[in-house]
Amino acid sequence: MRASVLAVATSLIMALVTPVLAENPMTQTTHPYAGLWVTDDDRVRHELLPNGRYVEARGRREGAYRGRYEVKGTHIDYWDDTGFTADGVFVDADTLHHGGMVLRRRERASPAPTTR
C-alpha cells in the first residue's frame, strides 16, 4: 500500500514538472534581462526567471499569472499557462515596454536580517 501511494505521488509530481522542462530545455537563459521588472506605481511586477519562466504579480495578487517567455534580441514574447500571449520590447537595459506599460528593472529586496 505504501509503495503504491509513493508511486502515485511520484507520477503526479512528474506530470506537473515534465511540461515545464519540455517547454524550455535550457536551464539558463542567454540574455541580460532576467530579474524583476516593475511599473513605477508597483502595481505590476514581472519576474523573469533564468529558466525561461516568469511570474507576474498584479497589485496584491502575487503569482497572478505564470508562464514561459523567450527573448530574441530586445523583443520578448510571453505565453502564460492559460494560453494568453503577449509581447514587449526592452528599449534599454533597464526599461521594458509591455502592453502599454513601462516596467523598470528593480533589484529584489533582500530579506530582513534575523536576530537571535
Delimit the domains of the chain by residue range. Answer: 26-106
User: HEC states along the chain?
Assistant: CHHHHHHHHHHHHHHHHHHHHHHCCCCCCCCCCCEEEEECCCCEEEEECCCCEEEEEECCEEEEEEEEEEEECCEEEEEECCCCEEEEEEEECCEEEECCEEEEEECCCCCCCCCC
Tell me the pLDDT tens digit for each residue of 29-47: 679 999 999 999 999 999 9
pLDDT above 70: percentage of residues in the chain: 68
pTM, full prediction = 0.69
Tell me the pLDDT tens digit for each residue of 70-90: 999 999 999 999 999 999 999
CATH of 26-106 given 2.40.128.290, 2.60.120.10, 2.30.130.40, 1.10.3720.10? 2.40.128.290
